[in-house]
Chain A
Amino acid sequence: MSSGIQERSDIDQIPVAKRPATSPPPRPQTWVLKLIMAVTGSIFVLFLLFHLAGNLKVYLPDDPQGHFNEYAHWLRSFLSPLLPGSTFLWIFRGCLGAALLLHVYSGVTLWIRAHRLRGRHARKVNPTKHHLTGRTMLWSGLIILAFIIFHLLDLTLGRVVASKDFTGGSTYKLENGEVTVDAYANLVHSFQRPSVAIFYVVVMVVIAFHLSHGIWSITNDFGATAHRTRSVLLILADLIALVIVVGNASIPLAVLGGVITL
């Protein structure tokens, strides 16, 4: 301002700091994105527990192959004949896919916002648990995203990364005479490759990190302020993460160790 018409008063001499670019206000609003993260995250937590229950059928003592494949068949034909064929399966997949898109979109948007607003000076890193898991959510999330693609190619679609013994068609005869996919054989063939088995184990640890902080975040994002609720969920977050990692990671290890065979 060098118009020179008005003499500046002292107050004008005080330098005014530049404000960050704040308008227009961020859309969608930050709290809405956090809520989307929490809702879709909760869906994934429930899905993972449900998925684990199915996976653990490989440990049934009596004919695990039959039980596992029967379960896989039930999943594919659930609510049939009310909904024809595998309609329910596709609705289920559609919902999970939509939740995944929303979760990734919200997560990345929030990360960009957070990244823009951190200052220029270095911070001292506190080696706390939530620091380790909380600040790596985007990275663990991206690893999990890559894993989801790998997992679908490996055991659902049987493309690119699947084992050479993968069979997609109706190759297994259930006790009731129906023929279905031999999901059990696909699993065993895939995990008999050591590099793949180790990859699954490593990713399960990453998922546990993501879950441990994610469930704690869900608690906060849903606005749980009661002391008891928060204490329980803080423990539950680690407990669920532990159950997921131990339950799932044990399967490729069991296949490698020869406990689970065809």
Chain B
Amino acid sequence: MRLILEVWRQEGPDAEGGFETHEILDATPEMSLLELLDRLNHQLVENDQEPVAFESDCREGICGTCGLDVNGVPHGPEDNVPACGQHVRSFQDGQTVRFTPFRARSFPVIRDLIVDRTGLDRIIQAGGTIAVDAGTAPDADTLLVTHDDAERALDFAACIGCGACVSACPNGAAYLFTGAKLAHLALIPHGKEERAKRARSMIAQMQHEFGPCSQIGECVLACPAEIPIVALAVVNRERLRAGFMWGKAN
């Protein structure tokens, strides 16, 4: 397969940046998009050019490291699949494929396709952790969790923090990410002890760097962990609940 790649190149955070066009003649349908970039880099190095900087790690959809926009869509044309799981077979022979870094003012470009996603880390640092009961694991059945709650908590815990929701959002909002964390921790016994405190601090941090949610639902189409759209309402529910708790922690 022949593909034309338009890749965003940017030397550093302060550099201007621009598109570079390359041709790949030996792409195969079963290649992942990251392998396509590997192929491009191989070609660039062979021609004594600087390879394209992009992030990847596990390449099996569990780490959340890979993240880039393909033809203006986070991760690539297929819904709910990370870039490493998207394949060249989504494109036609001879098609132009445009790679850009994740689109959000809160994700400044470090180099080429690599963006700084530490804004999401700061939301987690603000309270996306459990600080109580740090002792040894309790005996089985001392803390009862219903099967439904456990399953739902796991559904929300599936978030890999890749940042596709922020890139997909026309407002640069991180509601899906924050909502997934809040919902996950609010459903399990240890998490409940700091439920209100967590909502206050995480949401304060979120709105510090990210935009407001307009419930358009673009994030849900992009999310490789298939976090449901209800996570958007969870952010508001948890913040309202925390308001009614008047400074209490739980």
Contact = CB atoms under 8 A, between A and B. Distances in A.
Interface stretch (B36-44, B85-93, B205-213): B205-213
B233 interface: yes
Contact of A134 (B108, B115, B216, B240): B216
A19 B118 CA distance: 10
A33 interface: yes
Interface in B162-191: 167-173
Contacts of B34: none
B212 A17 contact: no
Given A114-B212, A121-B8, A126 B221 contact: yes
B238 A117 contact: no
A210 interface: no
Interface residues of B, number: 56
Interface in A79-114: 110, 113-114
Interface residues of A, number: 48
Nearest to A114: B171
Contacts of B100: 121-122
B249 interface: no
A118 B172 contact: yes
Contacts of B71: 124
Interface in B92-113: 100-111
B236 A121 contact: no
A18 B72 contact: no
Interface in B1-59: 8, 12-14
Most B C-beta atoms less than 10 A away, residue of A19, A26, A30: A30
B108 A18 contact: yes
Contacts of B116: 16-17, 19
Contacts of A220: 213, 215, 232-233, 236
Contact of A20 (B13, B109, B209, B218): B209
With most chain B CB atoms within 10 A of its CB, the pick from A14, A33, A134 is A134
A104 to B, nearest CB: 15
A113 B211 contact: yes
Nearest to A123: B72
A222 B72 contact: no
Contacts of A20: 105-106, 108, 209
A121 B103 contact: yes
A25 B207 contact: yes
B230 A230 contact: yes
A219 to B, nearest CB: 7
A135 B216 contact: yes
A63 to B, nearest CB: 45
Contact of A30 (B69, B104, B212, B230): B212
B213 A118 contact: no
Contact of A117 (B14, B73, B105, B232): B105
Given A121-B103, A134-B214, A213-B215, A114 B13 contact: no
B124 interface: no
B217 interface: yes
Contacts of B225: none
A166 interface: no
Contacts of B109: 17
B111 to A, nearest CB: 7
A130 B241 contact: no
B203 interface: yes
B103 A134 contact: no
A170 interface: no
Interface string A61-86: 00000000000000000000000000
A19 B240 contact: no
Contact of A230 (B107, B173, B233, B235): B233
B172 A121 contact: no
Interface in A114-138: 114, 116-124, 126, 128, 130-131, 134-135, 137
B195 interface: no
28 contacts: A14-B110, A15-B12, A17-B108, A19-B209, A25-B207, A30-B212, A110-B212, A113-B171, A117-B104, A117-B172, A118-B169, A119-B103, A119-B104, A119-B167, A119-B172, A121-B69, A123-B73, A123-B170, A128-B216, A130-B217, A134-B216, A134-B217, A217-B215, A221-B236, A223-B233, A223-B241, A224-B237, A227-B230
Given A217-B215, A220-B215, A225-B234, 6 more contacts: A114-B212, A118-B169, A121-B8, A121-B72, A227-B230, A230-B233
- Lowest 3 A-B CB distances belong to which pairs? A223-B237, A117-B172, A119-B103
